């Protein structure tokens, strides 16, 4: 049997891709080595408002929000300078546990007409010269060869498809942080208390940052990220160390008082972030297989949904040029967000300049509205605040003797210029890759 597309990996990139393709009339085989339901603990679970709009487009918004109601407030900041970003009621993000979310996606792909095979593992790719024309699958212990016009790797950052195609990495770097987290019961007062109001939090204190993601209806995902060279005591006692560091912050301490984690403590000790070439003759990559960014801002699931939609259009177009155009446009759409995530994960993020910026955000609803536009993907994160504003704040700080703003100010300017230059180069590549008919 021949398929239009074989999708390897049936989670938040592969299953939406299969649904988009099947709804577009394609014959799709969706495979995953795991069974469903099964958990994916290496995930913040956070779907941003932008991602939830794509979930709505897939016709799954009601099901997802039934599992994990809308999170309409995001709180970010450095030290005690906290900005609250508010969305319209019911139109914020959502944090479903992956053990619940991923089966919704798989069932939706099946309902749209995709053939789904679980416990089905990719063994090898079938080639005709340099073109991929199918896959060898271990399906319940039996190897079988299946042919397709396109084979897609949606199989995560350690992608077998990427390995077998030799997809090169670029703009990669090793992450400077480790992180540990666990699920805790959500206190009944969490949604009503003035300090929390049901929000998601990311707060930097010293060289750490802590996070709260309200997941499903009754749990909080609580965690701490810290410099990777401090990981030894965490490895020795992850439960005790997590409790110690959560209790050290006045916002987190009440959430764990008298509480016991409902899960094991989960850790990400080291990581590497990268772009990979996302297409070639007869193959493509989507989700973390082709682009893995620092999870600090929680962009991964939303970007996987975005790229699944984009790749589905390229596959339905039916030619290699469309696949290359998908890859190049993905780079344009992702580059500034990749560097935003790199900044947020940096050990230098909690600096005097960012503390000043968050103080301004906390006092200025109009500036918070600009950050909301960044989250909504309507403006670049590098255009949220004008150069004139930041220069003015920096000069005022210098007049008050706050000289610590100087170094991060110039570093931010240099970094922004480099990102803009790289973006211009990626835009040229995307323009050159446009199909002739466009």
Domain 2-41+97-174+273-319+326-342: homologous superfamily in CATH: FAD/NAD(P)-binding domain (3.50.50.60)
pLDDT of residue 37: 84
Tell whether the model's pLDDT for residue 438 goes beyond 70: no
| Pairing between β-strand 2-8 and β-strand 81-86 as defined by DSSP bridges | unpaired
| C-alpha dihedral sign at 372, 375, 379, 381 | positive
In angstroms, the CA 101 to CA 13 distance is 12
DSSP calls for 50-112: HHHHHHHHTT-HHHHHHHS--B-EEEEEETTEEEEEE--TT-SBB---HHHHHHHHHHHHHHH
Cis geometry, peptide bond prior to residue 37 (ω within 30 degrees of 0): yes
Give me the CATH topology for the region 177-268.
D-Amino Acid Oxidase; Chain A, domain 2 (3.30.9)
Burial class of 421 by CB neighbour count within 10 A (0 to 12, 13 to 18, 19+): exposed
Q: 437 falls in which pLDDT band (50, 70, 90)?
A: low
Q: What is the pLDDT of residues 282-333, one digit of tens each?
A: 999 999 999 999 999 999 999 999 999 999 999 999 999 999 999 999 999 9
Q: What is the pLDDT of residues 155-177, one digit of tens each?
A: 999 999 999 999 999 999 999 99
In angstroms, the CA 292 to CA 311 distance is 17
In terms of Cα–Cα distance, which of 332, 35, 347 is closest to 179?
347
In angstroms, the CA 177 to CA 351 distance is 16
Domain boundaries, the chain: 2-41+97-174+273-319+326-342, 177-268, 346-432
The tokens of 407 are what? 């170094």
Q: What is the pLDDT of residues 380-400, one digit of tens each?
A: 999 999 999 999 999 999 999
Q: What is the dihedral of CA 271, 425, 326, 6, to 10 degrees?
A: -40
Query: What is the DSSP secondary structure assignment for residue 437, as one 8-state letter?
Result: T
Q: 1 falls in which pLDDT band (50, 70, 90)?
A: confident
The angle that helices 49-57 and 300-317 make with each other, rounded to 10 degrees, is 40
Q: What is the pLDDT of residues 409-429, one digit of tens each?
A: 999 999 999 999 999 999 999
Beta carbons of 119 and 35 less than 8 angstroms apart: yes
In angstroms, the CA 82 to CA 88 distance is 20
Alpha carbon of residue 281 to chain centroid: 27
Q: What is the pLDDT of residues 88-114, one digit of tens each?
A: 999 999 999 999 999 999 999 999 999
Q: What is the pLDDT of residues 42-90, one digit of tens each?
A: 777 899 999 999 999 999 999 999 999 999 999 999 999 999 999 999 9
Mean residue pLDDT of the chain comes to 96
Q: 39 falls in which pLDDT band (50, 70, 90)?
A: confident
Q: What is the pLDDT of residues 241-266, one digit of tens each?
A: 999 999 999 999 999 999 999 999 99
In angstroms, the CA 311 to CA 20 distance is 9
């Amino acid at each position: 049997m021949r398929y239009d597309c074989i999708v390897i990996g049936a989670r938040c990139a592969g299953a939406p891709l299969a649904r988009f393709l099947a709804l577009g009339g394609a014959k799709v085989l969706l495979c995953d080595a795991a069974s469903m339901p099964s958990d994916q603990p290496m995930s913040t679970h956070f779907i941003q408002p932008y991602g939830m709009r794509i979930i709505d487009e897939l016709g799954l918004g009601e099901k997802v929000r039934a599992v994990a109601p809308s999170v309409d407030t995001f709180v970010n900041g450095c030290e005690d300078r906290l900005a609250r970003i508010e969305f319209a009621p019911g139109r914020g993000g959502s944090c479903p546990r992956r053990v619940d979310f991923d089966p919704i996606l798989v069932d939706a792909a099946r309902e749209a007409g995709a053939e789904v095979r679980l416990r089905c593992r990719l063994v090898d790719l079938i080639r005709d010269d340099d073109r991929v024309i199918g896959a060898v699958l271990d399906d319940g212990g039996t190897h079988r060869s299946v042919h397709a016009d396109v084979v897609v790797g949606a199989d995560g950052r350690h992608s077998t498809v990427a390995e077998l195609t030799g997809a090169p990495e670029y703009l990669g770097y090793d992450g400077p942080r480790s992180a540990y987290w666990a699920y805790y019961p959500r206190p009944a007062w969490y949604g009503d208390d003035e300090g929390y109001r049901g929000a998601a939090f990311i707060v930097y204190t010293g060289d750490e940052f802590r996070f709260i993601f309200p997941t499903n209806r009754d749990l909080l995902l609580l965690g701490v990220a810290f410099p990777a060279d401090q990981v030894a005591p965490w490895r020795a006692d992850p439960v005790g160390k997590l409790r110690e560091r959560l209790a050290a912050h006045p916002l987190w301490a009440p959430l764990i008082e008298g509480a016991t984690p409902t899960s094991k403590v989960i850790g990400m000790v080291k990581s590497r972030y990268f772009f990979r070439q996302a297409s070639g003759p007869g193959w493509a990559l989507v989700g973390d297989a082709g682009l893995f960014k620092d999870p600090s801002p929680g962009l991964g699931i939303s970007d996987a949904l975005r790229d699944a939609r984009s790749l589905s259009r390229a596959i339905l177009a039916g030619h290699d040029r469309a696949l290359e155009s998908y890859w190049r446009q993905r780079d344009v759409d992702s580059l500034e967000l990749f560097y935003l995530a790199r900044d947020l994960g940096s050990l230098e993020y909690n600096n005097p300049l960012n503390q000043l910026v968050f103080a301004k955000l906390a006092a200025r609803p109009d500036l918070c509205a600009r950050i909301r536009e960044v989250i909504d993907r309507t403006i670049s994160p590098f255009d949220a605040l004008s150069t004139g504003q930041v220069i003015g704040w920096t000069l005022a700080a210098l007049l008050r003797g706050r000289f610590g703003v100087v170094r991060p100010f110039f570093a931010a300017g240099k970094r922004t210029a480099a990102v803009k230059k790289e973006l211009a180069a990626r835009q040229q590549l995307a323009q050159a890759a446009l199909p002739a008919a466009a």
